[in-house]
Chain A
Amino acid sequence: NAGVTQTPKFRILKIGQSMTLQCAQDMNHNYMYWYRQDPGMGLKLIYYSVGAGITDKGEVPNGYNVSRSTTEDFPLRLELAAPSQTSVYFCASTPQGADTQYFGPGTRLTVL
Chain B
Amino acid sequence: GDSVTQMEGPVTLSEEAFLTINCTYTATGYPSLFWYVQYPGEGLQLLLKATKADDKGSNKGFEATYRKETTSFHLEKGSVQVSDSAVYFCALVNTGFQKLVFGTGTRLLVSP
Contacts and interface: CB of A to CB of B under 8 A. Distances in A.
Interface of B: 4, 32, 34, 36, 41-46, 49, 51, 89, 93, 97-100, 102-105
Given A42-B102, A45-B99, A101 B46 contact: yes
A74 interface: no
Interface residues of A, number: 24
A48 B44 contact: no
B45 A33 contact: no
Interface string A87-102: 0001010100011110
11 contacts: A4-B43, A31-B98, A33-B100, A44-B102, A45-B99, A58-B99, A101-B98, A103-B45, A105-B41, A105-B42, A105-B43
B100 A45 contact: yes
A33 B98 CA distance: 10
**Interface of B (DSSP majority class):** strand
A8 to B, nearest CB: 15
A27 to B, nearest CB: 14
A41 interface: yes
Contacts of B104: 40-42
B93 to A, nearest CB: 6
A78 B34 CA distance: 30
Residue of A40, A42, A48, A58 ringed by the most chain B CB atoms within 10 A: A42
Given A41-B104, A42-B89, A99 B99 contact: no
